[in-house]
Copies of this chain bind each other. A is one copy, B any other.
Amino acid sequence: MFSKACEYGIRATIYITEQSLFSKKVSLKDVANAIESPEAYTSKILQQLVKNNIIQSEKGPHGGFTIPEKEIKSLTISQIVVAIDGDQIFNGCGLGLKQCNERKPCPVHNQFKLIRGNLKMMLESTTIHSLALQLHQGFSFLKS
């Protein structure tokens, strides 16, 4: 469904948000540990999220990652997915046709339109904040 980078990105953001709830800054190492991901690769992904203004970073001793106060309640899964994987998942053709639309649809165009609509709605309405709360209460997990 998503690329591995995107999966890591979502998990990382949920973790950072959970810690940001208590104004805790987290280091790259913390993140990689919490979500069981390769550290250097995770670094790349977090950089992308910083560039897209989804998370904040500070260098130097006691540096680390946080979620901007302003966004912490409104950030959705969708924003992360678009930042990392682009909008292919929402707009791309289910059978891989370059061009696929109402006027020249692939055989499953309408069926996929429905499914993708559901997916989009879910990703846009689910906030990272709500997921972080559940995580904090021990109702869900970020690593196996």
Contact surface of A with B, Cβ cutoff 8 Å? 1-2, 4, 7-8, 10-11, 14, 77, 89, 92, 94-100, 104-109, 111, 114-115, 118-119, 122, 126, 131-132, 134-135, 139-144
Contacts and interface: CB of A to CB of B under 8 A. Distances in A.
Contact of A140 (B4, B11, B105, B135): B105
Given A95-B11, A115-B119, A109 B140 contact: yes
* Copies of this chain, tallied across the complex: 2
Given A97-B144, A107-B135, A109-B140, 7 more contacts: A1-B1, A1-B89, A104-B144, A105-B140, A106-B141, A111-B122, A118-B118
Nearest to A130: B107
